[in-house]
Amino acid sequence: MTAAGSSTSSAFPPAIELRGINKHFGPVQANRDVDLTVPVGTIHGIVGENGAGKSTLMSILYGFYQADSGVIEVGGQVCPIHGPEYALAAGIGMVHQHFMLVDIFTVLENILLGAEGGALLGPGMAAARAEIARLEADYGLEVDPDALVGDLAVGLRQRVELLKALYRGANILILDEPTGVLTPQEAERLFEILTAMRDRGVTIILITHKLQEIMAITDNVSVMRAGQMVAHRETAQTTREELAELMVGRQVLLRVEKSAADPGDVVLHADGLSLIDDAGVLRLDGVSLDLRAGEIVGIAGVTGNGQSELLEVLSGIRPPSRGRLSVHDRVIDHDHPCEPEEMRDLNLAHVPEDRQRMGMISAFAAWETAILGYHRDPAYTGPILLKTDAIVEDTDGKMDRFDVRPANPQLTSDSFSGGNQQKLVLAREIERRPDILLVGQPTRGVDIGAIEFIHRQLIEMRHAGCAVLLVSVELEEILSLSDRILVMFEGRIVGEVAAADADAQMIGLMMANAHETENAAANG
Amino acid sequence: MGEDFLLIILTFDATIRVSVPLILAALAGLIVERSGVIDIGLEGKMLASAFAAAATAYTTNSAWLGLGAGVVASVLLALLHGFACITHRGNQIVSGVAINILVSGLTVLLGVSWFSLGGQTPPLTGDARFNSLTFPGAEAVRDVPVLGPIYSELLSGHNILVYLAFLTVPMVWWLIYRTRFGLRLRATGENPAAVDTAGISVIRMRYLALILCGILCGIAGSYFSTGHGAGFLREMTAGKGFIALAAMIFGKWRPVPVLFACLLFGFLDAIAIRLQGVEIPIIGEMPVQFIQALPYILTVVLLAGFIGRAIAPKASGIPYVKEH
């Protein structure tokens, strides 16, 4: 592949060549003198931590933002891209991390949007049907053109995005974190499709933070750090460890070192928890689980299968509709709810999944965020006034111990990066020395360096005898941290495995509830 | 029997007359909200165009020039709304309310200074109004049982704006469901980022929607002063812009259900006029105030209980900002 790549490069100009791209947002330099060359018909990975500037660079290539300076060449021609319409005209398509689809439209209407083929919809639709059928057959992108996009599973929506780009004649395709919302099986299917596209001459740029994906599918890889392009490698000539080091700028421990667990007594016991939401939908369906002191229990599953609701019920945010929950000796059910504040008194701490919305208040100073929920503690407040000096000093200590940067308690919470916000929230919850710690998506939007730190903190909590419940959509995280793994599907726990016996393939099948479907098919 | 039947026909006839501005304004609201802009200022746009139409029609003695002036006034206010909340991403509710207050004061101020009639325009006569069109043979068939009154009273005898309003319903339906513009319009109100990434300008779509809204409100306002009425009276739109918003929600942002919602509200209005001074069995004579309040009470009841959840276009009311 690489030999072919270099020999054709003299005959064909590269699909994309970026030279000296600069872009800043206010005082932040998002891209600094970035160069990038992508040969025709290759899959090119771009890796980097959050905020490294990958998405900005691709948004510039797609015309969503304008570069402050720099040159974009497409197919050897200088090609100014002033907006997405210019990119589309140059044959560049993009599949965004958050799908750019209209839920109330059919698949066909979504594909047509922007390429309707005339002032009236009728004739264009007929022509589009035929073209879509051809694309589906060519690339294995089956999807019902008359289905409403809002009714489709995430994997299928992504196919609609791919079809949209191909329908508009894209031969250069940018994918931004395409596997974030997919099950491992869906991701594998996507990679087959991408490989098929490359073999037909489509050039693909893949932005991701998952190094195993880079190793599995790309031909070349470029690494970004702090807005700059720091390295270009042929994938075959590099390793995950090297890429991780290039991304962070120092050596990183990818696997978490931990000793065997020594579980103690059951501290939290859930028995048949169900939750019916305000719209009358059953979100949790008879969930039973035990949490023991000194173990980490991981909850795996595709987003939206009841994990968020489970955290809400266990932390007291919502009472269960049915079933019982015991925390130490306190029994909680629908008629005896337990407010989050009381849960805290029971020594249960909660690091919520969505820290921006539930873990902190963006406009509050860091010292205020650092005591949220514990603000009635006599250490922080007198009868009327907060003890500001004491709180700021306390926050200083937390920032020091949890390596929160910049270590300034007066800055507003939203001026910290994702990783530093998360460390601040973790510091707040962990330093109370809870018996039970509920953690949702601890490393979502957090860079590799901080991930390592957060993982170490969770393991240390386990060693200190805390019972940790870890909810994460990152399967690797679940596999490397947990002692036991529970898999959720449609509000139910569909499987439990000891971490020692688990692998990604097996958990992935459980996440899609594939074994049950297969059984049903066999029986039916 | 014949007497009662004629009474029913006349009530329906009144329903049609009072529904016209509701239909036009509700469709205007439907188009802008489908593009993701909330327009509380339907009321103000109608009031402004009612005044502009009456003043121009009186000066030029032409109802058509009056209509033109009404549409221009309304479109200018729509563009002002757009400048505030599309270009400068201001709050759409605040901008709409401001326009309503502005127009409410401005029409009276200009009216007093131009015509010195306490805020009214002089009464319009002859060609300064849109006069009723009589269908061929309407007089001849008047005495035919059942069909005669339906033809001559209900269908015939309205001014041209009435027919235009009813024609607007299928036109708007066709525009939003069968044309490229409509597809882009609906997409803009649901997910503007999808429209932007497809290479279409969200700002341009929203301005176009506002211009259409202005045109329809302009026709509705002109109807008040040069079609239904004969001259401008202060506050003559009397909250119809808000009832139109209610009808738009009641009709769930779809043209045909919106038409029926407008007819229902118009019917309640027409009945309220009929019921004044009428003895009702058991209850006796109803107080006028109660009867006049009836359409509004029913509006609240209907909106609160009978339509289920009304799901607005998802991006409605949210200024579009590219995130990074």
CATH classification of the domain holding A491: 3.40.50.300
- The token pair at A401 is 């111990």
DSSP 8-class letter at A68: S
Structure confidence at residue A262 as a pLDDT band (50, 70, 90): confident
Residues A338 and A438 in one domain: yes
pLDDT at B306: 62
* Edge-to-edge order in the sheet of strand A69-74: A28-38, A16-25, A69-74, A77-78
Q: Which long-range contacts (CB under 8 A, 24 or more apart) does A397-403 make?
A: A398/A370, A398/A424, A398/A427, A398/A428, A398/A431, A399/A366, A399/A424, A399/A427, A401/A427, A401/A431, A402/A426, A402/A427, A402/A453, A402/A457, A403/A453
Q: Is B313 exposed, middle or buried (0-12, 13-18, 19+ CB in 10 A)?
A: buried
Least trusted range by pLDDT, from A155-159, A188-192, A254-258: A254-258
Residues A441 and A344 in one domain: yes
- The token pair at A389 is 């000096």
Residue A197 belongs to a domain:
no
CB-closest option in B179, B198, B314 to A113: B198
Residues A242 and A322 in one domain: no
Label the pairing between strands A220-225 and A228-234: antiparallel
Q: What is the pLDDT of residues A324-378, one digit of tens each?
A: 999 988 999 999 999 999 999 999 999 999 888 889 998 899 999 999 999 999 9
Residue with tokens 């489970």: A310
Average pLDDT on A83-94 reads 94
Q: What is the pLDDT of residues A212-251, one digit of tens each?
A: 889 999 999 999 988 899 999 999 999 888 888 888 777 6
Residue A450 belongs to a domain:
yes
Cα A66 to Cα A21: distance, rounded to the nearest angstrom: 10
| A257 pLDDT above the threshold of 60 | yes
Residue A78 belongs to a domain:
yes
Query: Using the beta-carbon criterion (under 8 Å), do B198 and A100 form an inter-chain contact?
Result: yes
Structure confidence at residue B153 as a pLDDT band (50, 70, 90): confident
**Partner B contacted by A119 (CB < 8 A):** yes
Taking CA–CA distances from B187, the nearest residue in chain A reads: A102
Cα A213 to Cα A217: distance, rounded to the nearest angstrom: 6
**Partner B contacted by A236 (CB < 8 A):** no
Residue A416 belongs to a domain:
no
Phi-psi region of B26 (alpha: psi -120 to 50; beta: other; left: phi over 0): alpha
Query: Using the beta-carbon criterion (under 8 Å), do A105 and B197 form an inter-chain contact?
Result: no
For residue A495, the one-letter residue type is G
Q: What is the pLDDT of residues A378-431, one digit of tens each?
A: 999 999 999 999 999 999 999 999 988 888 999 998 888 778 899 999 999 999
Taking the model in full, what pTM does it have? 0.79
Query: Using the beta-carbon criterion (under 8 Å), do A116 and B180 form an inter-chain contact?
Result: yes
Boundary residue ending a domain (A197, A226, A252): A252
Residue A485 · residue A496 · CB < 8 Å: yes
**Parent domain of A476:** 266-355+434-523
Cα B288 to Cα B278: distance, rounded to the nearest angstrom: 10
Query: Which tops the pLDDT comparison, B276 or B261?
Result: B261
Bridge partner residues of B179 (DSSP): A120
pLDDT at B198: 93
Torsion of CA A108, A113, A118, A123, to 10 degrees: 10
Residue B286 · residue B161 · CB < 8 Å: no
Average pLDDT on B1-27 reads 89
Residues A282 and A246 in one domain: no
Residues A219 and A296 in one domain: no
What is chain B's mean pLDDT, rounded? Answer: 90
Least trusted range by pLDDT, from A438-447, A465-474, B9-18, B211-220: A438-447
**Partner A contacted by B153 (CB < 8 A):** no
Query: Using the beta-carbon criterion (under 8 Å), do B183 and A121 form an inter-chain contact?
Result: yes
List chain A residues with CB under 8 Å of B314: 103
What are the E-state strand segments in A313-463? 322-327, 330-332, 348-351, 436-440
Query: Which tops the pLDDT comparison, B133 or B189?
Result: B189
Cα A427 to Cα A429: distance, rounded to the nearest angstrom: 6
Label the pairing between strands A322-327 and A172-176: unpaired
List chain B residues with CB under 8 Å of A100: 191, 193-194, 197-198
Q: Is residue A282 classed as helix, strand or coil in its secondary structure?
A: strand
| A93 pLDDT above the threshold of 90 | yes
Percent over 90 (pLDDT), chain B: 65
C-beta neighbour count of B41 within 10 angstroms: 32
Label the pairing between strands A92-95 and A172-176: parallel
| B289 pLDDT above the threshold of 80 | no
Residue A254 · residue A241 · CB < 8 Å: yes
Bridge partner residues of A495 (DSSP): A487
Contacts of A257 (CB under 8 A, 6+ apart): none
| B227 pLDDT above the threshold of 70 | yes
Q: Is residue B274 classed as helix, strand or coil in its secondary structure?
A: helix
Shortest distance, CA A262 to any CA of chain B (angstroms): 45
Contacts of A456 (CB under 8 A, 6+ apart): A256
Cα A123 to Cα A125: distance, rounded to the nearest angstrom: 5
Taking CA–CA distances from B190, the nearest residue in chain A reads: A102
Query: Using the beta-carbon criterion (under 8 Å), do B179 and A119 form an inter-chain contact?
Result: yes
C-beta neighbour count of B94 within 10 angstroms: 12
Rounded to whole angstroms, what are the CA distances from B130 to A250, A516, B54, B69, B240? Answer: 81, 71, 11, 14, 20
Cα A153 to Cα A186: distance, rounded to the nearest angstrom: 11
Structure confidence at residue A173 as a pLDDT band (50, 70, 90): very high
- The token pair at B229 is 């009425």
Shortest distance, CA A114 to any CA of chain B (angstroms): 5
Taking CA–CA distances from B175, the nearest residue in chain A reads: A120
Average pLDDT on B68-97 reads 96
Residues A243 and A302 in one domain: no
Q: Which domains does chain B have, with CATH numbers?
A: 2-306 (1.10.3470)
Structure confidence at residue B83 as a pLDDT band (50, 70, 90): very high
pLDDT at A210: 80
Query: Using the beta-carbon criterion (under 8 Å), do B197 and A100 form an inter-chain contact?
Result: yes
| A208 pLDDT above the threshold of 90 | no
A110 alpha carbon, distance to own chain's centre: 25
Residue A333 · residue A320 · CB < 8 Å: yes
Residues A222 and A344 in one domain: no
Cα B44 to Cα B218: distance, rounded to the nearest angstrom: 10
Torsion of CA B100, B105, B107, B109, to 10 degrees: -170
Residues A350 and A450 in one domain: yes
Query: Using the beta-carbon criterion (under 8 Å), do A113 and B195 form an inter-chain contact?
Result: yes
Residue A321 belongs to a domain:
yes
Residue with tokens 């190094």: A211
Q: Which long-range contacts (CB under 8 A, 24 or more apart) does A498-503 make?
A: A499/A298, A503/A479
Domain count, chain A: 2
Residue A195 belongs to a domain:
no
Length of chain A: 524
Label the pairing between strands B279-280 and A172-176: unpaired
Cα three-residue angle B17-B21-B26, rounded to 5 degrees? 130
CB-closest option in B190, B198, B314 to A114: B198
Residues A466 and A336 in one domain: yes
List chain B residues with CB under 8 Å of A128: none
Cα A396 to Cα A374: distance, rounded to the nearest angstrom: 17
Residues A1 and A83 in one domain: yes
Q: Is residue A360 classed as helix, strand or coil in its secondary structure?
A: coil
Query: Using the beta-carbon criterion (under 8 Å), do B196 and A64 form an inter-chain contact?
Result: yes
Average pLDDT on B258-283 reads 82
pLDDT at B309: 66
What is chain A's mean pLDDT, rounded? Answer: 88
DSSP 8-class letter at A292: E
**Partner B contacted by A205 (CB < 8 A):** no
| A523 pLDDT above the threshold of 50 | no
Residues A245 and A308 in one domain: no
Boundary residue ending a domain (A190, A221, A252): A252
Contacts of A330 (CB under 8 A, 6+ apart): A338, A342, A346
Residues A339 and A442 in one domain: yes
Residue A330 belongs to a domain:
yes
Shortest distance, CA A288 to any CA of chain B (angstroms): 34
pLDDT at A141: 86
Q: What is the pLDDT of residues B162-203, one digit of tens each?
A: 999 999 999 999 999 999 999 999 999 999 999 999 999 999
Phi-psi region of B209 (alpha: psi -120 to 50; beta: other; left: phi over 0): alpha
Average pLDDT on B78-97 reads 95
Rg (CA), chain B: 21
Q: What is the pLDDT of residues A1-46, one digit of tens each?
A: 343 344 444 467 899 999 999 998 877 788 999 999 999 999 999 9
- The token pair at A361 is 């208040």
Rounded to whole angstroms, what are the CA distances from A44 to A83, A173, A362, B316? Answer: 23, 10, 36, 38
Shortest distance, CA A4 to any CA of chain B (angstroms): 34
Residue A127 belongs to a domain:
no
List chain A residues with CB under 8 Å of B187: 102, 105, 113
Bridge partner residues of A225 (DSSP): A228
DSSP 8-class letter at B248: H
Q: Is A38 exposed, middle or buried (0-12, 13-18, 19+ CB in 10 A)?
A: buried
Residue A432 · residue A374 · CB < 8 Å: yes
Percent over 70 (pLDDT), chain A: 95
Q: If contacts are CB pairs under 8 Å, which of residues 194-223 in chain B contact chain A? A: 194-200
Phi first, then psi: give them for residue B182, nearest 5 degrees.
Answer: -65, -40
Torsion of CA A193, A196, A202, A208, to 10 degrees: 40
Query: Using the beta-carbon criterion (under 8 Å), do B195 and A65 form an inter-chain contact?
Result: no
Q: Residue B49's closest CA among B237, B210, B212, B206? A: B237
- The token pair at A39 is 């040969």
